[in-house]
Amino acid sequence: MAKRSGDLRFQPSGGSRTPQIPVGKKQKLRIERLANDGRGIAFFEGRTWFVAGALPDEEIEARVLGARSQVVEARVERILTPSAGRRAEPCAHARQCGGCSLQHLPHGEQLALKQQQLAEQLRRVAGLQPEQWAAPLVGPELGYRRRARIAVRWDAKARQLAVGFRAPSSQEIVSIDECPVLVPALQPLMRGLGPLLRGLHKPQAIGHVELFSGSASALLVRHTQALPESDLEQLQRFCLEQGAQLWLQGEAAPAPFVADQQLAYRLETWDLQLHYRPGDFIQVNGPVNEAMVAQALDWMAPAADARVLDLFCGLGNFALPLARRVREVVAVEGVAAMVERAAQNALSNGLDNLHFHQADLSNPLVEAPWAREGFDAVLLDPPRDGAWEVVRQLGRLGARQVLYVSCNPATLARDAQELLRQGYRLKRAGILDMFPQTAHVEAMALFEADPDVRLI
């Protein structure tokens, strides 16, 4: 074999390296259009800029948050020429806080952006569009969030405690004492939280705080060290003044300070109350959650003698209302504690036609004893990474109908392509505005099999 010339290793590539852009650098830009996540897109000196807080046709000054290759991430520092479509943000902290990214965009345009993202993912990934687009499912623009996690950080050098929400693309905490997206019941807790925590004898022991609203308001304090008795008394006194429950979490699971206290939320349409504990998954938007459940049942229109499978059932958010309508519901969840609480919720609501099972949903379903009879319909509400392993098996369960609730249009589109391969068609789809003022997209899609098609 001929020996390679060593000189080749050191020959220049023939081009010059593009200089890096330092974090914090300011740059004037003209915004061309919006990205799917609501950031403005600009092009400058061969790079694509994604600018949070910017709108098309605006002249802005952007501050760099990070850069890699030909992509720069930035946020608006100053608006030099505003868009005619810009609105005043309802929150004074909107441009510093990372919680809401679209407050400057009118609500109707937020919905259009989310609808576009869903349609684009279905078309690009799966080559699909539904036979019918449903109108967006909406609720209040503000005052909707019934749970929130509050960031806390102790600065040992300054001996100060920061309390608030994280800034965009940063670990910095923006101090906030009022948040307009929280439900009204949580506003007094939010206003008093900073002074409360800063007044503790051992504030450095606080890891983070969570707020909940349902059958009661609640404050969960996650502590990394044991709290002094005086701090516990101060926390409980504050909660009593606010009419709220105090929950604590150290190394173990969250527990109420008063042993018999419970949290729950209601589904009024079905006269149901679902108990939960901090750490359990519940939808943050109560009105949209109830409307979502109603829409799911309306789209499915199950017969009274139907047998329905609810996958990723959680606390029974869909399973319990379904049980009011059909002969039998089989509900499956991967987390054993959630299965136990869901079964308790069915019992406390007087429902005896539900059967709850804990199962690893990445394993074959058809081999499970509860799946052998088959199902008339399947409802699934998976996490962000979708339900690929589950979806690959649905045709073998014999269900002629699949209702898929998604918090990620990309994985919904991927899974829709597999359902199409098995013999289903996309009958109806639409967005659920679970998180107004953000670019987060939730969606619902109904798949049906033709009566003459044999599912695979």
DSSP 82-97: --TT----SSTTTTT-
Residue tagged 């509400």 (tokens): 381
Quick check: helix, strand or coil at residue 47? strand
CB 245 within 8 A of CB 239: yes
β-bridge partners, 145: 182, 285
The values of phi and psi at residue 373, to 5°, are: -75, -15
To the query of whether residue 407 is one of the catalytic residues in this protein, the response is: yes
The active-site residue out of 91, 100, 239, 407 is 407
DSSP 108-158: HHHHHHHHHHHHHHHHHHH----SEEPPPB---SSS-B-EEEEEEEEETTT
CB 114 within 8 A of CB 136: yes
CA-based radius of gyration for the chain: 25
Per the structure block, which two tokens stand in for 149?
A: 């996690």
Residue tagged 């450095």 (tokens): 204
CB 402 within 8 A of CB 410: no
3-state helix, strand, coil in the chain (%, to 5): 25, 30, 45
The values of phi and psi at residue 285, to 5°, are: -110, 100
Contacts of 174 (CB under 8 A, 6+ apart): 93, 96, 97, 98, 164, 165, 166, 167
Of 62, 154, 142, 50, whose CA–CA distance to 100 is shortest?
142
β-bridge partners, 356: 331
Active site residues: 407
